[in-house]
Structure 1
Amino acid sequence: MPLIAPRSHAWLSEADCSLDAFRALVERTTDPRDHPGADAVEHNVPVYDGDRLRARAATAPGRREAQAELVHALLDGPGIVVFKGAFPDASVLDRATEAFTALIEREQAAGTARGDHFAKPGANDRVWNALEKLALSAPEVFADYYANDLIALVATAWLGPGYQITSQINQVNPGGAAQSVHRDYHLGFLSEARAAAYPAHVHRLSPVLTLQGAVAHCAMPVESGPTLYLPYSQAYEPGYLAWRRPEFMAYFAEYHVQLPLEAGDAVFFNPALFHAAGHNRSADIRRMANLLQISSAFGRAMETVDREAVANAVFPVLRRRKAEGATEDWLNNVVAACAEGYPFPTNLDLDPPVGGLAPDSQADTLRRALERDWTPDTLRTELRAGAERRQS
C-alpha cells in the first residue's frame, strides 16, 4: 500500500469498495522464497522458530536483515507473522499467567470486569491496561516478561525506537462467541463516515502507527477459537470503509485462516489486516492471550498508562538485575516497555533542549538512573520534576 497515490484517489468513499478488487488482492499464495528466514508457511502465514530468529538477529547485520524481512511480511506480504516459542522460558510465561489470572479474579470480585470492543458482553474476561497493572502488582514478573527480545525486534522493525506498549488480557471462556471481523486502531475504531472524512493518504498512514500482537498464555487448538485472519487484506486501501459491508464480512467468514498456537507463541500483525477472535467451541479451555498494542512514538496510544508510576515500580528490579549482570539489551527492552521514549509534547519554556534538539524523555532519565545507580527516591524526584516541566 504505497503512501503516494494518484490525485484521483486523494479521498475514498463507499463507491471504492469492490469485492472483486479485494479478491484479486487477497487470493494469492505466499512464496516461501520471499520469507527465507521463516521455518514454514502455514495457511499463507510465515512461521518463524523463535530460537532461530534470535540467533539470526544476534549480529547487527543479521538483525537488520531479519527486521527487513518482517517489515516486508507485514507491509507488502501476508500482513502477519507467527513466532513459535517467543517465550522459551516457561517459568516467565507461567508467572505472568498467574499474575494475569489474579488480575481477572480481583476485577471480578470488585465488580469492575469489562468486555471488549467486538464481542458480545459476557463472552470473555478482559483486563484493560494490563501493562500498568502488572508492573504495579508484580514488577519482577513485568521485567522478565517485557525483556523479551522478539517483542523488541519486531516492534523496532515496524515502528522504530521510542515505541509505547499497551496491553490487554483477553480470556475467552468455553462457549465464548467469535468477534465480528474488523480492522484495528486508529481508523478501525472510527465509524465509516468518520473514517471517510480522512484523506486516502491517512488511510495508508494509519497502519504504520501501530503494531498488533498477541502472546498465547495457553495451548490454543482450533476448537478453542484462536484468532481468524485474512492474509493480504491489510493492503486493500478502502478497507477501513469496507470491513463492515455484508459482502466483505461474508467473504471473510468463508475464506479466513486460523492458526493453532502453543503457550509461549506470539503473533504480530498489521492493524489493517481483517481479523476477528474465534468462537471457543471447547468444553474446558479458557483461551488467554495478552493482546499487545504497540504504538509509534509519533502516534497516540489507545490507552492511558501512568508511565511514571510504571517506571518507579520497576526501577528497583532493573537496578538489582543490572548489579547481577543483566545485559544492556535486556535492560533496554524493559525500559522501552516502562517509560515514555519520546520527549514531546512538552513545555519548551520550562523544558528546553540542552545540548541537542530535544529534551530528555522519561526513558532517557530511567537509563541515566541505571548508569549512575540512583536510589529509587532520586529517580522518583527526577521523574516528577520532568513531568512538571512538561506541563503548560
Structure 2
Amino acid sequence: MSEIRPSDRLFVGPEAADIEEFAALCARETDPALYPHSSAVQKNVVIYDGQALLADLQRDKPAVQKEMHDLLRNGPGVLVVSGAYADLAVVDRHTEVFERIFEAEARQGIASDHFAKAGANGRIWNSLQKSAELSPESFIEYYANPLIGLVAEAWLGPHYQLTTQVNVVRPGGQAQQAHCDYHLGFQSVEEVARYPVPLHTLSKSLTLQCAVAHSDMPVETGPTLLLPFSQQYELGYLAWRRADFIDHFQRHAVQLPLSKGDIVFFNPGLFHAAGTNRTTDRQRIANLLQISVAFGKPMESVDRDAMSLALYPALSRIVAQKKLDEVNLRAVVAAVADGYSFPTNLDTDPPLQDLAPQTAQQFIWQALQEGYSFERFSEGVRDMQRRRQAKSFDKLSH
C-alpha cells in the first residue's frame, strides 16, 4: 500500500485557484442517461417533472434520492422540479401572505435589500416564521409539499431544518455578481483562507439551496444565472471574487425560464447570480429556502453572553496590566464567545462588512482594545441580544 502523504493544499489563498482547472470542470456535458428519473436536460440542468417524481417517490424513493445526491455532488449541481406545485392557488395564497408582510414591514420602515441597490428589489428575512404566524393555514398547505423533503433528504439526510427569505426583483433590477452561498460563501476571502481546504468541501454538504418560483420567470425577468459543475471546484469559495472567474461565469452561465410553481435546487458551492430584470412592468418573486443539515449544532447549551459578562472585568484588568499577549487573549476570547455571525435576525442585525454581521468575539475584542467600561460592554451585549432575537409577526405589525 502506498504511503498517504499530507495534502499541500490545506491553507491557501485565492491566488491558489486555477482558472484553467475551473474552466475544464465547467466544460463538461450532462449525460441524461445518468438521471433516468428526469424528464429532460436543458443547458446542462437536469429537469424533473413534479408529478412523475411523486409517482417515482412512491415506487422507489432510495433510487430517486441516490440519483439526486449524485447529481448535486458529482453532476451539474443543479436541478429543476417542474410543476412542483400542481395547485398554483397554493402558491398564490402564500404570495398574498408575503405581500401582507411587505406591507407591514413598510409601515415599520423596514425595506431590506439583498445584493442590490436600494429599491431595486425587496427582501423578507425569516419569511418562514413570519408567514407561519400570520397565516398558519397557508403555511401548512404550502410546506406540505413532499418534493421539498425528497430532495432535501437526498442531499442532507433526515432531520434537516429550513430557513427562508423572500426575494422580489423589480423591473430594472440589475444582475448580482456571481457568488457561492452560505456557509463559507458569506465570509470574506481572508476569513475563508483561515479554513483548511477540506472544510471548504464540507461546507457544500451542510446546506441545500432552493428557490420556489412565485411568478412566471421568462428569461427577460432575470431568473438565476447558473454555472453547472462549478460546485465541483475545490477552491470555489476563495475564487468567486476573482476577476478571471467572474469573467468566465459571465461568458458561460446559463439561464432557464421558470414557471410559477417550479422549484430550483442547487449545491451551495455552485456559482450563481440573480439575473437582470429587463422588463418594464413585471417583477420576479421567489421564496428562497436554505435547508440545513441536522448536525451543525453543539452538544451542550451554553449561555455565552453570561460567560462574557462574568469574565469581562477580569479580562479588562489583564489587558490594562498587559499580563497576556494577543495570541493568549484571543485564545481566551475564542473559548468564551461565538466567533460566527449566524444564526441572527438580518432585519435588525445586518452585515457591517462583506455579508456577515459582527460576531460576539469581534465585539469583545473591540471592547477590550477600546477600553469599554463594564457598563458600556454590558449594554453592547444586551444590544447584540436584541438585534439577533427573532421578532414575532404580531410585534412587527403593531
Q: What TM-score, normalized by structure 1, do the two folds share? A: 0.74
Give 2:307's aligned residue: none
Equivalents in 2 of 1:5, 1:235: separation in Å?
A: 23
Cα 1:201–1:267 change in 2 (3 A) is: same
Give SS of 1:57's match.
helix
Aligned to 1:78: 76
Q: Where do 1:189-204 residues align within 5 Å?
A: 189-204=186-201
Give the aligned CA root-mean-square deviation in angstroms: 1.6
- Once the two structures are TM-superposed, the CA of residue 15 in structure 1 deviates from its matched residue by 3.1
Q: Residue 15 in 1 paired to residue 3 in 2? A: no
Look up the equivalent residue of 2:263 and give its one-letter code.
Answer: A
SS of 1:288 mapped into structure 2: strand
> What per-residue deviation string (whole Å, max 9, x for no partner) do you get for residues 77-113 of structure 1?
0000000011111121111011111111221222112
After TM superposition, list the pairs within 5 Å mapping 1:109-148 onto structure 2.
109-116=107-114, 118-148=115-145
**Selected match of 1:298 from 292, 295, 298:** 295
- The whole-number CA distance in structure 1 between the counterparts of 2:160 and 2:69 is 16
SS in structure 1 at match of 2:117 = coil
Mapped partners of 1:14, 1:146: distance in 2: 39
Within the candidate set 174, 181, 185, 2:182 is matched to 185
Q: Which residue of 1 aligns with 2:52?
A: 52
CA distance in 2, matches of 1:11, 1:5: 16
SS of match in other structure, 1:21: helix
Instruction: Show the 5 A alignment for 1:216-231.
Output: 216-231=213-228
- Give the deviation of 1:5 after TM superposition: 9.5
Provide closer, same or farther for how the CA distance between residues 169 and 101 of structure 1 changes in structure 2, counting only shifts above 3 A: same
Q: Could you tell me which residue of structure 2 aligns to residue 164 of structure 1?
A: 161
Asked if the contact 1:166–1:303 (Cα under 8 Å) also holds between the matched residues in 2, the reply is: no
Q: Which residue of 2 aligns with 1:27?
A: 27
Unmatched runs of 5 consecutive residues or more in structure 2 = 298-340, 346-398
Q: Distance in 1 between matches of 2:293 and 2:132?
A: 21
2:94 to 93, 96, 109: 96
Q: What residue number does 1:151 align with? A: 148
Q: CA deviation at 1:303?
A: 4.2
Q: Distance in 1 between matches of 2:118 and 2:178?
A: 16
Per-residue CA deviations over 1:334-388 (Å, capped at 9, x if unaligned) read xxxxxxxxxxxxxxxxxxxxxxxxxxxxxxxxxxxxxxxxxxxxxxxxxxxxxxx
Q: CA deviation at 1:14?
A: 2.4
In the alignment, what sits opposite 1:379? Answer: none
Deviation of 1:122 after TM superposition, in Å, equals 1.8
> Match for 1:164: what amino acid?
Q
- Deviation digits for residues 204-233 of structure 1 (CA, Å, limit 9, x no counterpart): 100100000000001000000000000000
* CA shift for structure 1 position 137: 0.2
Find the counterpart in structure 2 of residue 245 from structure 1. Answer: 242
Question: What CA distance in whole angstroms lies between the structure 2 residues aligned with 1:299 and 1:267?
Answer: 24
CA distance in 2, matches of 1:261, 1:10: 40
For normalisation by structure 2, the TM-score amounts to: 0.73
Provide the C-alpha distance between the structure 2 equivalents of 1:113 and 1:120, rounded to a whole number of angstroms: 12
Which residue type is aligned with residue 281 of structure 1?
R
**1:362 counterpart residue number:** none
Quick one: structure 1 residues 20 and 238, their matched pair in 2 at CA, closer, same or farther if it must change by over 3 Å?
A: same
Task: State the AA in 2 paired with 1:29.
Answer: E
- The letter of the residue matching 1:276 is A
Q: Secondary structure at the match of 1:7?
A: coil
Q: How has the CA–CA distance of structure 1 residues 280 and 6 changed in structure 2, closer, same or farther, with 3 Å as cutoff?
A: farther
CA contact (8 A) 1:123 1:177 kept: yes
Aligned mates of 1:123, 1:246 — CA distance in 2: 24
Match of 1:233 in 2: 230
Paired residues for 1:231-310 under 5 Å = 231-299=228-296, 302-304=342-344
Letter in 2 for 1:87: Y
Deviation track 1:242-264 (CA, whole Å, cap 9, x = no partner) reads: 00000110111111000100000
Contact 1:38 1:46 in 2 (8 A): yes
Q: Residue 6 and residue 34 in structure 1: after superposition, are their counterparts in 2 closer, same or farther (change >3 A)?
A: farther
State the one-letter code of the partner of 1:120. K
Q: How far does residue 304 in structure 1 lie from its aligned partner after superposition?
A: 4.8
| 1:163 Cα offset (Å) | 0.7
The answer to whether 1:39 aligns with 2:36 is: no
User: Greater Rg, structure 1 or structure 2?
Assistant: 2
What is the deviation of 1:284? 1.2
Please list every run of 5 or more consecutive structure 1 residues that lacks an aligned counterpart in the other structure.
Answer: 306-392
Equivalent-residue separation in structure 2 for 1:135 and 1:122 (angstroms) = 26
Cα separation, partners in 2 of 1:6 and 1:120, compared to 1, 3 Å? farther
Q: Secondary structure at the match of 1:280?
A: coil
Q: Aligned in 2, Cα 1:33/1:302: closer, same or farther, shift over 3 Å?
A: farther
Q: Deviations over 1:141-189 (max 9, x none)?
A: 0011111100010111111111110000001000011111100000001
Q: How many equivalent residue pairs?
A: 299
Q: What SS is found at the alignment partner of 2:205?
A: helix
2: CA distance between counterparts of 1:286 and 1:232?
29
Contact 1:37 1:66 in 2 (8 A): yes
State how far apart, in whole Å, the 1-side matches of 2:161 and 2:50 are.
23
**2:269 match: secondary structure:** coil
Say whether the 8 Å CA contact 1:119–1:180 is kept in structure 2: no
